[in-house]
Amino acid sequence: MQTWRLIIHETPLAGSLNMAVDAHLFSALSDAPATILRFYRWARPTASLGAGQSLERAVDAEFCRRNGIDIVRRPTGGKVVLHHDEITYAVVSNDETAFGPTLASSYRRISEALVLGLAGLGLSAAPAGPPPADYAKGIVPCFSRPARDEIEIGGRKIVGSAQKRIGSRFLQHGSVPLRHDEDLLRRVTSFDDG
């Protein structure tokens, strides 16, 4: 059994520093199986874009600038996330014995662990099924709809996650909001679901 390394940053960090730490942990993995679990927070509200998202389509950069909201790009994929009053996790690993050999298997195993952790808090969570066909190409924010194997309670997404994988090495980010500010999210993203 492998021993995991646990990093807990109690002091909130700037978004760019959070992303730099995660990218460094990912690139520093050696060939020996290893897993690092990191928990952290954000020094100020930050919109993070998935690796392939268009800044112009995903966020209202002028609104963010005027209101002191940072914008960063994650090395992982997924949709735009507003990090504000949340706990963020990062799992960095190359241990196929623990997580399996594919993005789908490692994502699913992390989701199963999250469900168990939430059950320990008395919450009845479950991994989501497949999203609607238009979800993948849309510009909706991350928490608008769950993707396959993301965590939901009663049909509402409560943990958003995204992963980058190269061979056996992966970095998975996850956002666990403590409070959801729908109005601020709409203004940051200029998204209207109605």
Report pLDDT digits (tens) over 57-99: 899 999 999 999 999 999 999 889 999 999 999 999 999 999 9
For residue 49, give both structure tokens.
């874009």
Catalytic residue among 25, 91, 142, 147: 142
Q: Say which residue the tokens 């995991």 belong to.
A: 4
Express each pLDDT in 23-60 by its tens digit.
Answer: 999 999 999 999 999 999 999 999 999 999 989 889 99
Q: Which pTM does this prediction carry?
A: 0.87
64 catalytic? Reply is: no
Q: How confident is the model at residue 115 (pLDDT cuts 50, 70, 90)?
A: very high
Beta-bridged to residue 151, according to DSSP, are: 127, 159
Q: Say which residue the tokens 């238009």 belong to.
A: 134
